[in-house]
Amino acid sequence: MLDQTMEISIISIINVAIIIVVVLLSSTVHEYAHALVATKLGDYTAKSVGRLTLNPLKHIDPIGLIAMVVARIGWSKPVPINEANFVKPVRDTALVALAGPISNLFLALVFAGLYHIIPGDLILVQTLIYYFVLINLSLMVFNLIPLPPLDGHRIMRVILPDKIRTFWEQTERYVPFIWLLIFLPFSPLSFIFSAFITTVLSGLLSILGIS
């Protein structure tokens, strides 16, 4: 019984270690994509503060990392941009925002392909690949939600008419209240949010043939 308990503990530690590594790498690619597209579109703010890099230490937020490990929902340090440097600020800001989720989708598809190629007896490798797919899909879905300060909020802004866009931008002042309502354990929004994320992730994993 003791040996079985120790074995379970070791497996749990390995899983947590794998998740941390995958989150670090995936978040880094996500933030690098933001910085790269911003630079290509004429804003060198991210580059000037050292964010145009694949060094995880430049991007990771410790609390966001813990949240991703515990709840599969996390974040990194936001990449700074200056809209004034863009030719078309609203459009280009949306493109910069979209770059992060697209990078995660790309990684998820690449590792989903590897998942079906790697032999099933390579359990550790398959576990690593599975988490790469799951976490990148999680980052993509979470960041596409149109709530401030997520990427989806900036992407949605480019679609809206000018009058509604002004109201949309003003919702950023209510960020603490919005997320408090979402993360309060007994909040109806918390249940809806969790159910939405779980349903979408399950559907995407099913489409990719991963279980």
DSSP conformational letter for 154:
H
Phi and psi torsions of 60, nearest 5°: -75, 140
Distance CA 92, CA 73 (A): 26
DSSP conformation letters of 83-128: GGGSSSHHHHHHHHHHHHHHHHHHHHHHHHHHHHHS-TT-HHHHHH
Dihedral of CA 28/181/153/107: which sign? Answer: positive
The answer to whether the bond into 149 is cis (omega within 30° of 0) is yes
Phi and psi torsions of 38, nearest 5°: -60, -45
Distance CA 165, CA 168 (A): 5
Distance CA 149, CA 176 (A): 10
Give the active site residues: 31
Distance CA 159, CA 168 (A): 11
